[in-house]
Amino acid sequence: MSTGIGVIGLYVHDQDEALDFYVSKLGFQVHADHRNGSYRWLTVKLPNQQFELGLFLPQEPVLDAKTAQTMREMVAKGAMPPLVLVVDDCRASYEKLRAKGVEFTQEPIARFGGVDANFRDPSGNAWKMVEARA
Amino acid sequence: MSERSAGSTGQDPALLRRLLRAKDRMDAASEEEWPVQRLASVSGVSPAHFARSFKEAFGVPPHRYLLTRRIERAKALLRDTDQPIIDIAFATGWSSLGTFGRVFKDITGESPTELRARERATAHELEHVPHCFISAAYRPNLKTAVSEKRRRKEANSESE
């Protein structure tokens, strides 16, 4: 029987830039950072969760050169599936993250009994930030 | 000319990321005016380069993309609120009720009043779907220019 999701990966434009964003701005911790030649297995996690978020480069030899380029374009165009980050207080997190230079694409809006805001990581991945419902 | 479907356009990802920023800005405030000049400055490119690159990246010219977002918002307001149609027209970026009604019908095939009546008659159970997906589901798919769509419709009705 499955007992949980270990890693889900994102494609990013630049792993150093992504690492800085997820750690310095969003408050994740580095979980794994292993290099093998030009390949780098990089994952981060939140302090209170086991789940790891992989920050991967679309690159050879995992992908062929053309597919890697296509994936870089897709990420930069915001075509990757949305992600949801749960926070205690959406407005407070918005103020805090915005002050750190996070690129918000929607200010906090109260609707459907909750509050949500949208931001993007430097690569173009879209996050929806929602307040945990009591 | 057929428009390019999804796939690699060979564009620089750094440029695409900046074009996405202009698209995000239209998404966040589709009721505002977005002349190419303003969008181009968000993306940090020349207006001519912007218009060409945006269409190549996202399949539609920036102005048409903006129209789809405005119509999408208008549809949501017609469905979810009791606001008078003229208020919805102004709130979604049109400066006249006449233009709004005409473009709305050209794109959706029905008038704002008709759409509101039809939506009211149907039960919705979308409370559990995040807002952005609902709005995406209601976004009109504008593959041709609005004027072209109108021309074709008129041509069809004449030939009938």
Tens digit of each residue's pLDDT (9 = 90 or more) over A38-57: 999 999 999 999 999 999 99
In chain A, the N- to C-terminal Cα span, in Å, equals 30
Summarised one tens digit per residue, pLDDT across range B35-54 is 999 999 999 999 999 999 99
Which of A21-30, A38-47, A78-87, B138-147 has the weakest average pLDDT? B138-147
Test B13 with A75 for CB contact under 8 angstroms.
yes
- State how far residue A57 is from chain B, nearest Cα, in angstroms: 13
**Spatial distance between the Cα atoms of B101 and B86, rounded to a whole number of angstroms:** 9
B4 CB contacts (<8 Å, ≥6 apart)? B56, B59
Test B14 with A76 for CB contact under 8 angstroms.
yes
**Spatial distance between the Cα atoms of A99 and B44, rounded to a whole number of angstroms:** 23
**Bridge partners for A86 per DSSP:** A130
pLDDT at A131 over 70: yes
Q: How many residues in total does chain B contain?
A: 160
Q: pLDDT band for B57, please (50, 70, 90 cuts).
A: very high
Nearest to residue A53, comparing CAs of A3, A125, A129? A125
From the CB of residue B138, how many other CB atoms can be counted at a distance below 10 Å? 17
* pLDDT given for residue B119 in this prediction: 86
Test A124 with B16 for CB contact under 8 angstroms.
yes
**Spatial distance between the Cα atoms of A115 and A132, rounded to a whole number of angstroms:** 9
Q: Which residues of A touch B (CB under 8 A)?
A: 13, 66, 69-70, 72-73, 75-79, 82, 84, 103, 105-106, 111-112, 116, 118, 120, 122-124, 128, 130
Test A73 with B9 for CB contact under 8 angstroms.
yes
pLDDT at B1 over 50: no
Mean pLDDT of A81-87: 95
**What average pLDDT does the structure give for chain B?**
86
pLDDT at A82 over 80: yes
Q: pLDDT band for B125, please (50, 70, 90 cuts).
A: low
Q: What share of chain A in percent tops pLDDT 70?
A: 99
Q: What share of chain B in percent tops pLDDT 90?
A: 65
Top pLDDT among A18 and B156 is at A18
**Under 8 Å between Cβ of A108 and A94:** yes
